[in-house]
Amino acid sequence: MAIITTYVCDVSGKQGAKEEFVKVSISSQTNLSDSYHTKKTIEKVVHMDVARKLNLLNEKTAEPQPEPTLESKLVTLLKDFVSDIAYEAASEAASNRP
């Protein structure tokens, strides 16, 4: 039994398995006058690393989270502190019930 693996090489010289490549469609349109225009579309196979470097992939990147301010850190600490006090008070009240 033989295992057949397909390898692809793109124009940049990158080689790898077929799953590592994406098909990119490149379109160009030229309008020289009202009566003369050309439109051409070419599809090429490009390695994902090269496509990312050239920003050819339509990937949604996670927006960087803003640095928390001192006020927001204090609010978080106060909420945790109040929550702890409320939990302790509730557990104490529950244990003192006859």
Question: pLDDT by residue (tens digit) across 35-52?
Answer: 777 888 888 888 888 888
**Residue 24 scores a pLDDT above 70:** yes
Residues 26-54: b if buried by 16+ CB within 10 A, e if exposed:
eeeeeeeeeeeeeeeeeeeebbbebbeee
The candidate with the shortest Cα–Cα distance to 10, out of 61, 55, 36, 49, is: 49
Higher pLDDT, 5 or 77: 77
As a whole-number percent, the residues of the chain with pLDDT over 70 amount to 78
Which tens digits make up the pLDDT trace of 65-76?
A: 777 788 888 888
Q: At 5, list the tokens.
A: 């693996």
Confidence band, pLDDT 50/70/90 cuts, at residue 21: confident
Q: What is the pLDDT of residue 8?
A: 57
More confident residue, 10 or 30: 30
Task: Quote the CA–CA distance of 45 and 12 in Å, as a whole number.
Answer: 10
Domain ranges of the chain: 1-57, 66-98
Q: What's the pLDDT score for residue 20?
A: 82
Cα–Cα dist 39/31, whole Å = 9
